[in-house]
């Protein structure tokens, strides 16, 4: 019988109020149920919000170094459990072990980082206009944060929301995505074991229409941080801000890589291939458009096709080159876009087929796809696929490449592969993206730098990670002290 992971509300692991549960299957082998989870309802979300409000004043009143001590102990516990967490992530989400392990390490590092930053959340001192007055600012917690996290980075993204929220004195109600909630539950377990007070963090998986809607509309929520699709993100942001909560939403991407005529094509293939097909293309920063100078176009297409066809595909725990999609619906969406691209007239170079036979029959496997001769008005050029599908577009010069790369409603991450320093600087100045990379893949970002997008990739209110993560979860009070 599969063990059930309960909700965590006010310091206790409890079943859902109505007894509902849901099962998470292994996307590499859907005959295996990984874990069963209690499915929270609106009422459960309300209980979590009430508990977080009850605990907030005492948590914020705790000396910041003491909050940091709990985060540091959490990091240590996650580190001790890294091997099990890596396997859990792989079995629920589908990532290869080589992809899951660095993600777990990222979560560990984030908790260590914010453990130190907890004591470094002071304001600034300003010069007074006269007299014996001291003028300074101090940072204060917003209150209760509703965190809504996705399935594609099921431990890293919860970590980079939870840790700064806690470091700055906020309490939390967390709703993870139902496709892979286990790694987030493991963070909560580590926090409990590290001694976090009751009510400071509450874990309520459930549907967006019930738990998610309550987190964005309840008067007891002071901040909402969301990562997910653009469609849902806009709804979350509108609902939260209508309720006067501070909100941020990081959403989709259609991330380009420009390959100039000065680029080392072999290097460009490796950079684009890793960005396009890593984590099965299930990343908001995945490279989905390669915009290639005509002088190196044929060589690049040949190279990237060879790269895609060389990837070994199989269960994440077998640690091959690429794992499955996370769900049937995600697989079907990718297959649909493959059909759309072919029907629009793009040249189908390779891949985009559901894999069948032997171990593939019970999993959500697709071969990495490459389309060439992609025009800018095609859906495959404009719309986010969220799968291992690369659209390759030919351009005549650098100016056309910049224009094509910016021809998108999204603006999350972009890159250029070039040996020309002037082109690199021009790209940095003109790319319409929140993250600009030179001779690097579009995916991946260090934990201490701000992360966020432009256009439809982000509400562009606050960035995440680093000091920007602290900014979102705090408000500034200006103090005049006349002695």
Residue-level pLDDT at 133: 86
**Residues 313 and 385 reside in one and the same domain:** yes
Tell me, yes or no, whether 231 and 138 share the same domain.
yes
At residue 438, the pLDDT reads: 98
Please provide residue 439's backbone torsions phi and psi, each rounded to the nearest 5 degrees: 55, 40
Both structure tokens of 412: 């999350």
Among 277, 245, 232, residue whose Cα is nearest residue 456: 232
Alpha carbons 431 and 296: distance in angstroms, whole number: 21
Please give the pLDDT value at position 482: 87
Residue-level pLDDT at 131: 75
Statement to judge: residues 209 and 279 lie in one domain: no
Predicted local distance difference test score (pLDDT) of residue 1: 55
| Euclidean distance between CA atoms 104 and 148, whole angstroms | 19
DSSP states of 151-215: SSSTTHHHHHHHHHHHHTT-EEEEE--TTS-HHHHHHHHHHHHTTPPTTSEEE--B-IIIIIHHH
What is the domain-level CATH number for residue 230?
3.40.605.10
Name the phi and psi angles at 58, rounded to 5. -65, -40
* Domain presence at residue 156: yes
* H/E element, 12: strand 12-14
Around 403, how many Cα atoms within 13 Å sit in the side-chain half-sphere?
10
Closest Cα partner for 35 from 109, 102, 89, 96? 89
Q: Is 250 a catalytic residue?
A: yes
Looking up tokens 């431990």, which residue turns up? 155
Q: Are residues 190 and 79 in the same domain?
A: yes
The answer to whether 377 and 329 have CB atoms below 8 angstroms apart is no
If phi over 0 gives left and psi between -120 and 50 gives alpha, with beta otherwise, what is residue 455?
left
**Dmax of the chain from CA atoms?**
82
| Average pLDDT score over the chain | 96
8 membership: H or E segment, kind and range: strand 7-9
Residue 283 covered by a domain: yes
Alpha carbon distance 248, 253 (integer Å): 16
Is the domain of 245 the same as that of 259?
Answer: no
Which residues does residue 125 pair with via DSSP β-bridges, in sequence order? 136
pLDDT for the residue 122: 80
Is 449 a member of any domain? no
Residue 83 sits in which domain range? Answer: 4-251+458-482
Positive/negative CA dihedral, 397, 350, 359, 337: positive
Tokens 């809504």 belong to which residue? 148
Distance CA 352, CA 91 (A): 23
pLDDT tens for each residue of 59-100:
999 999 999 999 999 999 999 999 999 999 999 999 999 999
Question: Looking at the domain assignment, is residue 453 inside a domain?
Answer: no
Same domain, 60 and 173: yes
Judge whether 274 lies within some domain.
yes
**Measured distance CA(294)–CA(299) in Å, rounded:** 10
Q: Kindly tell me the burial class for residue 334, based on how many C-beta atoms sit within 10 Å of its own C-beta (0-12, 13-18, 19 or more).
A: buried
Please report, in tens digits, the pLDDT of each residue of the chain (483 residues total): 578 999 999 999 999 999 999 999 999 999 999 999 999 999 999 999 999 999 999 999 999 999 999 999 999 999 999 999 999 999 999 999 999 999 999 999 999 999 999 988 888 888 888 778 889 999 999 999 999 999 999 999 999 999 999 999 999 999 999 999 999 999 999 999 999 999 999 999 999 999 999 999 999 999 999 999 999 999 999 999 999 999 999 999 999 999 999 999 999 999 999 999 999 999 999 999 999 999 999 999 999 999 999 999 999 999 999 999 999 999 999 999 999 999 999 999 999 999 999 889 999 999 999 999 999 999 999 999 999 999 999 999 999 999 999 999 999 999 999 999 999 999 999 999 999 999 999 999 999 999 999 999 999 989 999 999 999 999 999 999 987
Q: Examine the domain organization and report whether 303 and 366 are in the same domain.
A: yes
Domain membership of residue 112 (yes or no) is: yes
Strand 369-372 and strand 389-395: pairing? parallel
- The one catalytic residue in 103, 214, 250, 384 is 250
372: domain CATH number is 3.40.309.10
336 and 260 part of one domain: yes
The answer to whether residue 448 sits within a structural domain is no
- 103 CB contacts (<8 Å, ≥6 apart)? 89, 95, 153, 155, 156
The CA-based angle 389-391-395, given to 5 degrees, is 165
Kindly state whether residues 75 and 176 are assigned to the same domain.
yes
Would you state the pLDDT for residue 132?
A: 81
Check whether residue 180 and residue 280 sit in a common domain: no
What sign for the dihedral angle of Cα 154, 229, 363, 97?
negative
Q: Is residue 452 part of a domain?
A: no
CB-based contact 126:220 (threshold 8 Å): no
What is the tally of structural domains in the chain?
2
Q: Is the dihedral of CA 14, 15, 16, 22 positive or negative?
A: positive
226 lies in the same domain as 337: no
464 and 397 within one domain: no
3-state DSSP call for residue 434? coil
327, two tokens:
């769900």
């Amino acid at each position: 019988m599969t063990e059930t992971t309960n909700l965590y509300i006010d310091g206790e692991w409890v079943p859902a109020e109505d007894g509902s549960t849901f099962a998470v299957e292994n996307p590499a082998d859907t005959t295996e149920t990984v874990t069963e989870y209690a499915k929270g309802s609106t009422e459960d979300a309300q209980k979590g919000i009430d508990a977080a409000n009850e605990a907030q004043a005492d948590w914020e009143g705790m000396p910041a170094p003491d909050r940091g001590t709990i985060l540091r102990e959490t990091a240590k516990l996650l580190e001790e459990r890294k091997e099990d967490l890596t396997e859990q992530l792989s079995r629920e989400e589908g990532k290869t072990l080589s992809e899951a392990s660095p993600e777990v390490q990222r979560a560990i590092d984030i908790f260590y980082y914010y453990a130190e930053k907890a004591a470094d959340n002071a304001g600034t001192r300003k010069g007074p206009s006269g007299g014996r007055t001291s003028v300074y600012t101090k940072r204060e917690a917003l209150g209760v944060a509703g965190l809504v996290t996705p399935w594609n980075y099921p431990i890293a993204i919860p970590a980079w929301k939870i840790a700064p929220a806690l470091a700055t004195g906020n309490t939390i109600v967390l709703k993870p995505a139902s496709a892979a909630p286990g790694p987030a539950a493991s963070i909560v377990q580590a926090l409990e074991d590290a001694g976090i007070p009751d009510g400071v963090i509450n874990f309520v998986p459930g549907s967006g229409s019930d738990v998610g809607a309550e987190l964005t509309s309840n008067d007891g929520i002071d901040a909402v941080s969301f990562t997910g699709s653009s469609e849902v993100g806009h709804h979350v942001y509108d609902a939260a801000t209508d309720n006067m909560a501070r909100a941020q939403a990081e959403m989709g991407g259609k991330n380009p890589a420009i390959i100039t005529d000065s680029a080392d094509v072999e290097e460009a293939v490796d950079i684009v291939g890793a960005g396009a097909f890593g984590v099965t293309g299930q990343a908001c920063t995945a490279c989905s458009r390669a915009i290639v100078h005509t002088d190196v176009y044929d060589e690049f297409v040949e190279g990237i096709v060879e790269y895609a066809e060389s990837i070994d595909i199989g269960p994440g725990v077998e640690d091959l080159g690429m794992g499955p999609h996370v769900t049937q619906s995600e697989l079907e969406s990718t297959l649909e876009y493959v059909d759309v691209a072919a029907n629009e007239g793009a040249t189908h170079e390779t891949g985009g087929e559901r894999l069948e036979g032997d171990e593939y029959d019970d999993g959500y496997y697709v071969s990495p796809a490459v389309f060439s001769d992609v025009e800018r008005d095609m859906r495959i050029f404009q719309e986010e696929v969220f799968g291992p599908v690369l659209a390759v577009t030919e351009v005549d010069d650098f100016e056309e490449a910049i224009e094509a790369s910016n021809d998108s409603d999204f603006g999350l991450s972009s890159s250029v592969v070039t040996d020309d320093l002037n082109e690199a600087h021009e790209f940095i100045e003109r790319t319409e993206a929140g993250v600009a990379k030179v001779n690097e893949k579009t995916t991946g970002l260090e934990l201490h730098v701000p992360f966020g997008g432009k256009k439809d990739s982000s509400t562009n209110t606050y960035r995440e990670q680093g000091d920007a993560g602290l900014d979102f979860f705090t408000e500034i009070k200006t103090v005049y002290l006349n002695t």
